[in-house]
Amino acid sequence: MKIYSGLLLLAVSSAVLAGGNNEFVKFPEGYQGKFNKYSTQNRQNNEQVADIYANDIASNSSKDGNLANGSILVMEVYKTEVDENGERVTGDDGVFKKAGLAAIAVMEKRSNWDDAYSAEERAGNWGFAFYDAKGMPKDNELDCVGCHKPLSNQDHIFSFPKLVNH
């Protein structure tokens, strides 16, 4: 039994590492009324659409090319409408039409993370977490860190150019 529980702990640790850590990156209650929505775009996986929000710290510091500590970005991830052939339906702007909120991803930037939140679980000073549509922690099999880490020239953010030009 000890071997199995060790393997289970390893699997759980890997899931937390890959998909973020809700213990450190908290859900920002009321973000839709407080944050600035700066983009609606198709996701990199070409299967979902996202609305992306930034708090005032992120919005105000983005013009400097590097977001300030305390920046928080929220990405609402939506399922997409599909037609009778199974093709994703797009609007005139090429953005997929939303079919329902699937998850909410949160990125937070801090230079003073708790030592328990290792640098391997972050991209630069950015931490990640994944929540369901009600703001409750959600399992995430994606490797947030692995995808964001190579984007150091744009502060580890896929939508950085849109944020800067907003």
The confidence score (pLDDT) of residue 141 equals 85
Rounded alpha-carbon distances, angstroms, from residue 60 to 55, 56, 86, 132: 9, 6, 41, 28
Domain ranges, ordered by start, for the chain: 2-164
Residue 157 pLDDT > 70: yes
Per residue in 34-90, pLDDT tens? 999 999 999 978 799 999 999 999 999 998 888 999 999 999 999 999 999 999 999
The confidence score (pLDDT) of residue 140 equals 85
Are the CB atoms for 62 and 47 separated by under 8 Å? Answer: no
Q: Which residue has the higher pLDDT, 9 or 61?
A: 61
The confidence score (pLDDT) of residue 18 equals 52
- State phi, psi for 57 to the nearest 5 degrees: -60, -45
Radius of gyration of the chain (CA): 17
**Share above pLDDT 90 across residues of the chain, in percent, rounded to a whole number:** 79
Superfamily of domain 2-164: Cytochrome P460 (3.50.70.20)
Phi-psi region at 135: left, alpha or beta (left = phi > 0; alpha = psi -120 to 50) = left
Mean pLDDT value across the chain: 88
The set of residues, in sequence order, having a beta carbon less than 8 Å from that of 106 and lying 6+ positions away, is 20, 25, 26, 27, 28, 72, 73, 74, 75, 128, 129, 130, 131
